[in-house]
């Protein structure tokens, strides 16, 4: 089945994207909150800054692609609530259904694009965590400028506001609502005009200390954009067979051509051109991914066999995760085998009944063992941190040895 192949292809990306963030709680609450966001650079950076300031965990999915591994990763965090940042094109609706079936509370915060999502998220934070804005700075970055977004990602104690043409009123309005005191403005040669326009509005309507940072498009920045575009283009290529939209092949052809142009420009040292071409390639590839996700959702609704196959895969991933946590899931494994046998025999009604029983068992097991799962997650995270510290010390030791060797040679 093609969709099975696609899920296995994306798994390799997801292993890198799903981040084992610290086991923590939102400040001032006893609620364990997890952020679910796509690897879209704008939404992810926004989520990362929220995570840093509210001390929350993040789980990341590949933009526009549903994968059961992501749901099982959420389960391993034992959240009381999940905040989904981004619309259904970025974080597919199937994740909402998964959370509903598991009895996990969630809220999706989104708009029609990254600019509207950004404003909605900031307003949500202002309503629910007003104290958050007392000590943080607002970084203004062009929403389509990867270089500016990357710069914002590296800043500490900030929240991000993405600016773009046509959204200036809402962006200025949210700055007024926040009553922001400190603003950092990031711009590159590709985004000077829109940044200057929004800054005029800010100076007129918002009393804030404003500092500017100019980012030069470097070779590293251009290469990062190329790699991101290549990942998106390869994913679009793997999904193209599932897309019936006539324009999809042409969009893929354009993405591949722009990607090649980007690589050629990079090899010639034209990093600004390489950067721009890579962004264009990524945009074309993401249209295909969005189409594929829409048709995936339609197929789930219309074809019971496909729906049951995906459900079996999803529940199997959850069983694996619960078993990995040390829980007794013998009954779940037996039910899964029965469901697979019923599906193999074409008895869809029986398979559906068994899977519903299995879902209920997993749901009850999850809620009954929530505190245990949280503790296990905490233990594993602490162990991982210790391993990272050891690696870092070994790296520093090797670097010192190399430096000493170089000094001896001199």
Q: Where are the alpha helices (DSSP H) in 55-167?
A: 68-77, 94-102, 114-128, 146-153
Q: Identify the CATH number of the domain in which residue 97 sits.
A: 3.40.50
210 and 246 belong to one structural domain: no
1 and 98 belong to one structural domain: yes
| Residues paired with 83 in a beta bridge | 35, 107
102 and 149 belong to one structural domain: no
- DSSP one-letter string for 287-315: HHHHHHHHHHHHHHHH-HHHHHHHHHHHH
- Residues 118-162: tens digit of each pLDDT: 999 999 999 999 988 888 899 999 998 888 999 999 999 999 999
- Whether residue 83 lies inside any domain: the answer is yes
- Whether residue 34 lies inside any domain: the answer is yes
Separation of alpha carbons 4 and 309, rounded Å: 9
3 and 61 belong to one structural domain: yes
- Whether residue 281 lies inside any domain: the answer is yes
Separation of alpha carbons 83 and 95, rounded Å: 11
**What is the pLDDT at residue 387?**
82
* Cα dihedral across residues 161, 164, 168, 170: positive or negative: negative
Separation of alpha carbons 2 and 288, rounded Å: 16
Number of folded domains that form the chain: 4
9 and 85 belong to one structural domain: yes
165 and 197 belong to one structural domain: yes
Domain end, chosen from 157, 186, 216, is at: 216
Show Cβ contacts of residue 18 under 8 Å, excluding neighbours closer than 6 positions: 59, 60, 61, 69, 70, 73
Dihedral angle at the C-alpha atoms of 178, 183, 189, 190, nearest 10 degrees?
Answer: -10
210 and 224 belong to one structural domain: no
- Whether residue 33 lies inside any domain: the answer is yes
8 and 105 belong to one structural domain: yes
Show Cβ contacts of residue 281 under 8 Å, excluding neighbours closer than 6 positions: 229, 232, 233, 254, 255, 256, 258, 259, 262
149 and 224 belong to one structural domain: no
HSE-CB for 55 with a 13 A CA cutoff: 10
The tokens of 57 are what? 């965990």
**What is the pLDDT at residue 89?**
93
227 and 204 belong to one structural domain: no
Q: What is the mean pLDDT of each run of 10 residues along the chain (410 residues)?
A: 45 39 45 94 96 94 94 94 96 96 97 94 94 89 90 93 87 86 86 80 82 89 95 95 89 97 97 93 95 92 95 95 92 97 97 97 96 87 80 76 64
**What is the pLDDT at residue 241?**
85
- Of the candidates 42, 69, 15, the one whose C-alpha atom is nearest the C-alpha of residue 286 is 42
Tokens 């970025």, residue? Answer: 90
Separation of alpha carbons 365 and 271, rounded Å: 53
Domain end, chosen from 168, 184, 216, is at: 216
Show Cβ contacts of residue 273 under 8 Å, excluding neighbours closer than 6 positions: 261, 262, 265
Separation of alpha carbons 372 and 380, rounded Å: 12
Show Cβ contacts of residue 86 under 8 Å, excluding neighbours closer than 6 positions: 37, 38, 40, 43, 108, 110, 117
For β-strands 182-187 and 209-214, DSSP reports them as parallel
203 and 139 belong to one structural domain: yes
The tokens of 388 are what? 């990272």
Q: How far is CA 250 from the centre of its chain?
A: 27
Q: Identify the CATH number of the domain in which residue 205 sits.
A: 3.40.1010
- Whether residue 127 lies inside any domain: the answer is no
86 and 184 belong to one structural domain: no
- Whether residue 401 lies inside any domain: the answer is no
- Whether residue 376 lies inside any domain: the answer is no
**What is the pLDDT at residue 388?**
81
Whole-model pTM: value is 0.86
- Whether residue 57 lies inside any domain: the answer is yes
Domain end, chosen from 286, 316, 331, is at: 286
Q: Mapping DSSP to helix (H, G, I), strand (E, B) and coil, where does residue 167 land?
A: coil
Separation of alpha carbons 407 and 410, rounded Å: 5
Query: Range of 90's domain?
Result: 1-110
């Amino acid at each position: 089945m093609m969709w099975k192949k696609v899920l296995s292809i994306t798994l390799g990306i997801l292993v890198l994207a799903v981040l084992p963030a610290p086991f923590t709680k939102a400040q001032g609450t006893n609620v364990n909150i997890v952020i679910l966001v796509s690897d879209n650079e704008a939404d992810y950076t926004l989520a990362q800054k929220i995570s840093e300031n509210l001390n929350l965990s993040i789980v990341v999915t590949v933009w526009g692609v549903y994968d059961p591994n992501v749901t099982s990763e959420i389960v391993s965090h034992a959240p009381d609530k999940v905040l989904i940042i981004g619309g259904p094109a970025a974080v597919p609706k199937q994740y909402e259904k998964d959370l509903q079936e598991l009895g996990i509370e969630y809220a999706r915060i989104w708009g029609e694009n990254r600019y509207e999502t950004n404003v909605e998220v900031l307003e949500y934070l202002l309503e629910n965590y007003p104290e958050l804005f007392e000590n943080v700075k607002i970084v203004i970055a062009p929403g389509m400028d990867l270089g500016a977004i990357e710069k914002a990602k590296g800043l500490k104690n900030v929240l991000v506001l993405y600016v773009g043409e046509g959204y200036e009123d809402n962006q200025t309005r949210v700055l007024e609502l926040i009553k922001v005191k400190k603003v950092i403005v990031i711009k590159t040669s590709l985004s000077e005009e829109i940044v200057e326009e929004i800054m005029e509005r800010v100076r007129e309507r918002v009393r804030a200390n404003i500092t500017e940072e100019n980012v030069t498009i470097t070779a590293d920045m251009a290469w990062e954009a190329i790699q991101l575009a290549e990942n998106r283009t390869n994913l679009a290529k793997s999904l193209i067979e599932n897309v019936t939209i006539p324009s999809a092949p042409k969009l893929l052809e354009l993405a591949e051509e722009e990607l090649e142009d980007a690589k050629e420009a990079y090899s010639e040292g034209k990093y600004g051109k390489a950067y721009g071409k890579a962004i264009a390639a990524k945009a074309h590839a993401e249209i295909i991914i969005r189409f594929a996700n829409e048709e995936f959702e339609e197929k789930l609704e219309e074809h019971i066999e496909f729906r049951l196959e995906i459900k079996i895969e999803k529940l199997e991933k959850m069983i694996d995760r619960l078993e990995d946590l040390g829980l007794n899931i013998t009954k779940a494994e037996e039910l899964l085998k029965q469901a697979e046998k019923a599906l193999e025999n074409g008895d869809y009604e029986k398979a559906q009944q068994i899977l519903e029983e299995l879902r209920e068992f997993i749901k009850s097991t999850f809620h009954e063992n929530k505190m245990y799962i949280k503790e296990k997650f905490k233990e594993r995270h602490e162990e991982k941190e210790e391993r990272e510290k050891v690696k870092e010390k070994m790296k520093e030791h090797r670097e010192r040895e190399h430096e000493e060797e170089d000094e001896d040679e001199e």
